[in-house]
Structure formats: structure tokens, C-alpha cells
């Protein structure tokens, strides 16, 4: 055996034996390891890269003073947008915001985002105390120009796929047109665009 061939350490073996999350790449490596008891050199290298990325999960962006899963408002006057979003991912140089209502997400460089705050007292009602909370308003700095693909569609959930298929079948009952069910795969959804 070559002295430069990487070997799985005990931590990696345990990780592969007990992997039960949703990452398809790691799932396939886990299945291959369980079947063969080993991985190729390239697979070990990619396993290490992938697990190192998982360890770099940030829960707070100190540059923008935002936290993971924090609710915000995204405003872009040039595109007439005012969306309720939340911070879904934080990396070394960027944040990802997500629009749950439209099932979309967008990556933005931390340096290209301006954060302002406003007080929101809209939760008070009849005979209930007014709760004032601070909400962050995210806008893009003038130098960060976004393109048409700024917002990307999230992967459809299994429930959405079933619903779309049911709707398609109902449409077929009412139309004589051919229907092609397209579900696009976005393998790079979680990869930074820069």
C-alpha cells in the first residue's frame, strides 16, 4: 500500500456507520462504507472536505449583527420588493436569506448588505399589551448589483411534489394537452455563488 493513501480514522468510521442525515452524497458514502468496509482515496478526500464544511456552521454574523433563523425584512426598491425573510445560513463571507412564502432563497455577500432596524408594535391588539420588538431591515449596498437569478427556487419538498402531481392529474382531466412533470434538481443549492 502507498504511504500517501489516506485511511479512515476511527471518528470517520463511526460517522459513516451512524450517518442518518439527508445529505445524499454523505448518505451514499455511508452506504458504500457499510457494504465494503472501506472507501477509495478520492472518496475519503471528498468525505473530509464535506464534513469540514459541516463544521463551519455559523450561528451569528458579527459583521451584520444577525443570528441564524432571525426574521428580517428584505427591501429592494429597484425591484419593488419588500419580503419577510429569515437568515437561513451564515458563512465566512456571506449570508443566505430565505423567503418561506415563495419557497425561495438568495445569497448575499456580508459586505454588500446594509442592516437598519425599526421598531415594530404591530402585535398589540384590543385590550392586549403592545409588544414592541426590533426588526432588522436588509437592503443591498449600491455597489452590489444583483441579477435576474438573485432569488432561486428551493428544492421541492415531498409534500409539494405530491401536491403538484395531484394538481397535474386534475388539470389533465380538464384538458387534452400533454403534461410533463418537471422537477428540477438543484445540487448546488447550498454552495456559495462566489
Q: Specify whether the CB–CB gap between 30 and 19 falls below 8 A.
A: yes
pLDDT tens string 12-52: 888 899 888 777 888 899 999 999 988 998 998 888 888 77
pLDDT tens string 129-162: 667 788 999 999 989 888 878 898 887 656 656 6
Rg of the chain over Cα atoms, rounded to whole angstroms, equals: 22
Distance CA(79)–CA(72), nearest Å, equals 18
Amino acid at each position: 500500500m502507498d504511504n500517501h493513501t489516506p485511511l479512515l480514522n476511527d471518528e470517520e468510521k463511526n460517522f459513516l456507520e451512524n450517518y442518518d442525515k439527508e445529505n445524499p452524497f454523505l448518505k451514499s458514502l455511508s452506504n458504500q462504507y457499510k457494504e465494503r468496509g472501506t472507501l477509495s482515496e478520492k472518496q475519503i478526500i471528498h468525505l473530509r472536505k464535506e464534513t469540514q464544511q459541516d463544521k463551519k456552521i455559523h450561528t451569528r454574523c458579527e459583521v451584520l449583527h444577525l443570528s441564524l433563523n432571525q426574521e428580517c425584512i428584505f427591501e429592494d426598491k429597484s425591484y419593488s420588493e419588500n419580503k419577510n425573510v429569515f437568515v437561513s445560513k451564515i458563512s465566512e463571507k456571506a449570508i443566505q436569506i430565505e423567503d418561506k412564502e415563495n419557497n425561495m432563497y438568495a445569497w448575499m455577500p456580508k459586505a454588500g448588505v446594509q442592516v437598519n432596524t425599526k421598531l415594530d408594535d404591530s402585535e398589540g391588539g384590543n385590550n392586549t399589551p403592545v409588544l414592541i420588538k426590533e426588526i432588522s431591515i436588509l437592503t443591498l449596498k449600491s455597489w452590489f448589483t444583483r441579477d435576474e437569478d438573485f432569488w432561486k427556487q428551493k428544492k421541492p419538498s415531498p409534500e409539494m411534489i405530491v401536491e403538484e402531481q395531484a394538481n397535474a392529474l386534475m388539470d389533465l382531466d380538464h384538458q387534452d394537452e400533454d403534461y410533463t412533470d418537471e422537477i428540477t434538481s438543484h445540487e448546488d443549492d447550498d454552495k456559495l455563488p462566489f
